[in-house]
Chains A and B, each alone.
Chain A
Amino acid sequence: MPKVAIRFTLNGSEAAEFVESGTTLLGALRDKLGETSVKGGCLQGTCGACSVIIDGALKLSCLTLAESCQDARIETVAALARGGLLHPLQRAFVETFATQCGFCTSGMLMAAKALLDHNATPSREDVIEAISGNICRCTGYEPIIQAILAASRAATSTAA
């Protein structure tokens, strides 16, 4: 199988690897770069567990080819906390019991971050729409919706 060189920025640091052509970004992140904060739930683009942010846009890493990410900026949940401080979304997820088994959490947080990055004061409907591609089998979604709304309020009040 021919190998291709890939190089991109992962959570602010340069990452380079050789992968088999056709390797998904999910496979490259987890198996080659040890970035196991990204989860694979269905490998067919239906569950959202593998969501990452590529050049500012929310993407499914299981449907993205690693070789299509040359020179891209890739963010995973591992980069949300800065200098030991949790991101407001992370704090809100802890405080509102928005995590249960934890398997969807990484992707859910990425979907929420992509939303807040583009819309600091989302409505409840905006939040529901933003996480509609992410399946959670434990919480029933309501604590997650509440967490994202709480994080947006916290961030807005800090800014003001």
Chain B
Amino acid sequence: MELRKSYFADERDDHLVEVGKPRARTDALGHVTGASRFFADRNFPGMLHLKMVRSPHHHARIRAIDTAAAERLPGVVRILTARDVPHNLYTILTLIQVGPEDENVLATDKVRWQGEAVAAVLALSERAATEAAARVAVDYEVLPAVLDIDAALQAEAPIVNEYHGRNYYRYDSGECRKVRYGDVEAGFRAADHILDQTYSSSPIEHAPTETTGCIVVPEPGERFTCYTNTQAMFFTLDVVAMILEVPGHRLHMVGGTVGGGFGGKVDVIVEPIAVLAAKLTGRPVSFIYSRAEEMQVSSPRGAERIRIKDGVLRDGRIVARQVTAWLDAGAYSRHSTYGAQKAAAHFPGPYTIPNVAVDSYCIYTNRTPSSAMRGFGVTIGDFALEVQMDKLARLVGMHPLEFRCLNAYRDGDMKAHRQPTEGAALVECMQEASRLAGWPMAQHFYAMSSRRREA
């Protein structure tokens, strides 16, 4: 690794102790010897295996659930349905005062996506649990489904999630998260060119090599140890406590070694039902997603659609940017309300634009609930923004890097969401990238600095 020290040379203390030097990972020795302990590397006497009965429909009313035939199968210990769950309504972000609770642990009157959990089968072996889950008879009345953002926003669209009452999340700012800065219409009028483009993306699955799961062991005194590969230990502890209506000190979450997360193990999905199952049976319970569940049931990155309308001057300065973004949350909020909010603040991109308007919507559909994944709310936005920047550069006949340098934010510039820019380094990054890539810019772009805007 090479540290290029010519940038910001006057600002840097070069007596670096750790930066620039490799340091062995603390967990590497365990990984290469096979000694690292993942949550599933445990076996407890009498452990039960949990398998979910899942909805085959995108949207349906549940008329009846008949578990009798499944319960008679050898090895089946118990089958849990909605009425076994003490507080069967939750949403993760209530822990940071973002509601409403909108999701069941086990479905009550309705299922809202294909794969939603309806009943939990507990058996002595995984095979017995799987066979019994297939024998639970659920009587569904299939309802019309909403399968994309356009369908969700139709006036006569079926309501996906009654806890919201409409197919989009209502923020305190209204039907979407908004950013308003300057006068975007005046900016468009002043522009020499307008470029109005729409970008869209499909859901993306994290596909960790270790599937999501946990093992819960009942301890004396109504306490439970939960070995989990969650990426959110404290959220998990609090959410489980709320759903089971038990004090948090009864729960001991053990984690740390996660076989790939990428945001996909931030939701609290497997632990509440596994702890409840351990509580109701008094036995250790293992609930581990199959690969098929990991691919089809775990939250993906949500589909997005982003419309960007820009006004640009002949000399390359962007004078107005209007962004409308729709994030497909699927059937439940999980972390998507936060993702759409983060997108709103991010959307003008790292550029100084005097007139900005952003509307960012969180939309409900009858699709797999989406949630966190590596920079959710900004990654797809950045794709759209940077493709748009390339198109704008072509439109005004400029080199794409020079066009970005011209519009790049500099220290002291006010961002659209009214945070002053500090510690900017975009210009320098492009200067170095242009050198490394052998893609030269005109000489004066190498004299630019993020510290000040040139006259």
Bound-complex Cα distance A30 to B206 (A): 25
A99-134 interface bits toward B, Cβ cutoff 8 Å, 1 = contact, 0 = none: 101111110010000000000000000000000000
A97 touches B25 (CB 8 A): yes
Question: A32: nearest residue on chain B (CB-CB)?
Answer: B43
- How close is B105's CB to chain A, nearest CB, in angstroms? 26
Q: How many A-B residue pairs have CB under 8 A?
A: 100
Bound-complex Cα distance A136 to B24 (A): 20
Q: A34-B43, A39-B38 are in contact. Are A49 and B32 (CB under 8 A)?
A: no
B20-50 interface bits toward A, Cβ cutoff 8 Å, 1 = contact, 0 = none: 0010110111111111111011110000000
Please, which residues of chain A bring their CB within 8 A of the CB of B24? 94-95
B291 touches A41 (CB 8 A): yes
Binds A, one of B95-103, B139-147, B254-262, B393-401: B254-262
Please, which residues of chain A bring their CB within 8 A of the CB of B258? 101
- A68 CB within 8 Å of chain B: no
Bound-complex Cα distance A65 to B66 (A): 36
For A102, give its contact among B31, B43, B291 (CB under 8 Å): B31
Please, which residues of chain B bring their CB within 8 A of the CB of A93? 28, 31-32
Please, which residues of chain B bring their CB within 8 A of the CB of A37? 33-35
Question: A46: nearest residue on chain B (CB-CB)?
Answer: B291
- A5 CB within 8 Å of chain B: no
Bound-complex Cα distance A160 to B31 (A): 30
Q: A42-B291, A81-B33 are in contact. Are A47 and B209 (CB under 8 A)?
A: yes
A101 touches B209 (CB 8 A): yes
Q: A44-B291, A137-B260, A138-B260 are in contact. Are A39 and B210 (CB under 8 A)?
A: yes
Bound-complex Cα distance A76 to B290 (A): 23
B208 touches A105 (CB 8 A): no
A99 touches B32 (CB 8 A): yes
Bound-complex Cα distance A77 to B33 (A): 6
Please, which residues of chain B bring their CB within 8 A of the CB of A101? 208-210, 258-261
Bound-complex Cα distance A41 to B295 (A): 12
Please, which residues of chain B bring their CB within 8 A of the CB of A34? 43
B32 touches A43 (CB 8 A): no
B25 touches A104 (CB 8 A): no
- How close is B289's CB to chain A, nearest CB, in angstroms? 11
A103 touches B260 (CB 8 A): yes
B290 touches A43 (CB 8 A): yes
Interface residues of A in 6-65 (CB under 8 A from B): 30-31, 34, 36-44, 46-47, 49
For B33, give its contact among A47, A49, A78, A104 (CB under 8 Å): A78
Q: A80-B33, A99-B27, A137-B262 are in contact. Are A43 and B257 (CB under 8 A)?
A: no
B41 touches A36 (CB 8 A): yes
Q: A41-B210, A77-B33, A81-B33 are in contact. Are A94 and B259 (CB under 8 A)?
A: no
Bound-complex Cα distance A119 to B207 (A): 32
Bound-complex Cα distance A87 to B291 (A): 32
- B431 CB within 8 Å of chain A: no
- How close is A35's CB to chain B, nearest CB, in angstroms? 9
Bound-complex Cα distance A78 to B27 (A): 16
Please, which residues of chain B bring their CB within 8 A of the CB of A99? 25, 27-28, 31-32
Q: A41-B209, A137-B209 are in contact. Are A102 and B33 (CB under 8 A)?
A: no
B209 touches A49 (CB 8 A): yes
- A86 CB within 8 Å of chain B: yes
- A150 CB within 8 Å of chain B: no
Please, which residues of chain A bring their CB within 8 A of the CB of B167? none
Please, which residues of chain A bring their CB within 8 A of the CB of B262? 137
Question: B47: nearest residue on chain A (CB-CB)?
Answer: A31
- B211 CB within 8 Å of chain A: yes
- A155 CB within 8 Å of chain B: no
- A90 CB within 8 Å of chain B: yes
A94 touches B210 (CB 8 A): no
Bound-complex Cα distance A97 to B208 (A): 19
Bound-complex Cα distance A106 to B27 (A): 14
Please, which residues of chain B bring their CB within 8 A of the CB of A102? 27-28, 30-31, 36, 38, 257, 259
B201-235 interface bits toward A, Cβ cutoff 8 Å, 1 = contact, 0 = none: 00000111111000000000000000000000000
Please, which residues of chain B bring their CB within 8 A of the CB of A81? 33
Bound-complex Cα distance A78 to B36 (A): 11
B248-277 interface bits toward A, Cβ cutoff 8 Å, 1 = contact, 0 = none: 000000000111111000000000000000
- A135 CB within 8 Å of chain B: yes
Please, which residues of chain B bring their CB within 8 A of the CB of A94? 24-25, 28-29, 32
Question: A137: nearest residue on chain B (CB-CB)?
Answer: B260
Chain A CB within 10 Å, residue with most, of B42, B206, B210: B210
Q: A39-B38, A101-B258 are in contact. Are A109 and B32 (CB under 8 A)?
A: yes
Apart from A46-B291, A86-B33, A102-B27: 15 A-B pairs, beta carbons within 8 A: A36-B41, A37-B35, A42-B291, A80-B32, A81-B33, A86-B32, A93-B32, A94-B29, A97-B22, A99-B28, A101-B260, A101-B261, A102-B28, A137-B206, A137-B207
Which 4 A-B pairs give the minimum distances between C-beta atoms?
Answer: A37-B34, A103-B259, A102-B31, A36-B41
Q: Which positions in B face A, CB cutoff 8 Å? A: 22, 24-25, 27-38, 40-43, 206-211, 257-262, 290-291
Would you give 6 A-B contacts (Cβ < 8 Å), ordered by A?
A: A30-B43, A36-B38, A99-B27, A101-B208, A101-B209, A109-B32
